[in-house]
Amino acid sequence: MTQRADRAGGSGPYGGPVAVTGLGVVTPAGSDERAFWAGLCEGRSVARRRPELAGAPVDFTCAVDDLDVDALVGGRSVWRMARFVKLALIAARQAVSDAGHDPLAWDGGRVAVVLGVGVGGVSVLVDNALKMRADGPQSVSPALVPMMIPNAAAGEVAIALGAKGPSLAPATACASGATAISVARDLLVTGQCDVAVAGGAESVLTPLVVTAFARMGALSTRKGDPAVASRPFASDRDGFVIGEGAATVVLEREADARARGRAPRALLAGAGSSTDAHHPTAPSPDGRGAQAAVEAALRDADWSPYDVAHVNAHGTSTPLNDAMEATLIGRVFPHRPPVTAPKGVVGHTLAAAGAIDAVATVLTLEHGLIPPIANLDAPAVEFDLDCVVKEGRRQRVETAISHSFGFGGHNVALAFRRV
């Protein structure tokens, strides 16, 4: 692996490696970094039945149940926020605190917020539609529009943090969180900001949305035992378990972080994106589109495929995605680096997934421990993968790739390096 600063963070006056200096995460497996990492390493799914989904085609999800979201957000403005916004704000505060920043002291004009979103505040939209039908127009909340719009998370986080630099809300379906991190990195290396808070958030565990995913055949229907339903790369996988959550990272140029006395937690060495241009929901079976994103990330990091020591897979537990991704990994990485897939534990958190996977990848680099894939004894026989199963694998990991794919054919790969 060639260590070149301009390749690790872009050329020009703002070049140099981009550092991850803070992490924030709210997931069904844990609502802070420590709890999330412990849950991930335990390797047990947290899927459970939800009373509000009784009668729906699928009645189980992975939800954030271990905290009072409203109390944690606090303040008089909490009433105007949809749940996905609240989750994003909690994760962003965690990340900024972890990075050692004080939003009251920084130059807000040089701080960017990039938060990926898939659907937005659909729950409040549905609730208000039902109220209007039952009780008329006066029952509709005057805050409906700012609660439901997809960019609400980016806007509210920027308000809370006093971030007056670029504020963006990329929507690339289930790749949105990773897209946000990639875009934030571009803002840093082109000099448009000095600090970026980036990630994704999603909360759509409503009967309508869960039923919609079930009707299209995307969800697992293992109602007998929801805890074994999400099983990435297993021969008998039958769909994903929908989840909710949020994750953010704080990104800075490494030189800036060290100048203020902050050691990076990891380096974001490269990023790549591509589009399948194949189908609205199904991935291209040959994985060539996804491969283009991975190879772009490798070029950006100045790595060869053999430099990659670990793959954090998108691993949705759907027949088509896992088959495509296994083909991609086997073709690009013939040395068979160990593979994990967090969705076995936390479910598929949609727009938050790529950011949650990025946090998991950074923690793997830090701890020298690759979490196991939940509910997997061995990958399907047709997959030539070294999947980490049953228990975590102790291994010093210097480099890792995190994959994210989304409906519409969006593909994103992020390359992280241990400091």
List the structure tokens of 376: 């997997």
Single-letter code of the amino acid located at 308: V
The alpha helices in 190-234, defined as continuous H runs, are 207-215
CA 332, CA 415: separation in Å to the nearest integer?
Answer: 14
DSSP assignment, residue 351? G
List the structure tokens of 229: 């339903």
Single-letter code of the amino acid located at 73: V
CB 394 within 8 Å of CB 252 = no
Single-letter code of the amino acid located at 395: Q
Distance, first Cα to last Cα, the chain: 14
The Cα-based distances of 145 to 82, 119, 124, 152, 255 in angstroms read 10, 14, 9, 9, 41
Give φ, ψ of 391 to 5 degrees: -150, 160
CA 167, CA 164: separation in Å to the nearest integer?
Answer: 8
Tokens 């799914």 -> residue: 45
DSSP assignment, residue 284? P
Angle at alpha carbon of residue 383, lines to 381 and 389, rounded to 5° = 80
* DSSP-derived 3-state class of residue 289: helix
Give the closest residue to 50 by CA, choosing from 174, 210, 203. Answer: 210
CB 230 within 8 Å of CB 45 = yes
The residues carrying an active-site annotation are 174, 314, 348
* Cα 196 → chain centroid: 16
CA 197, CA 167: separation in Å to the nearest integer?
Answer: 10
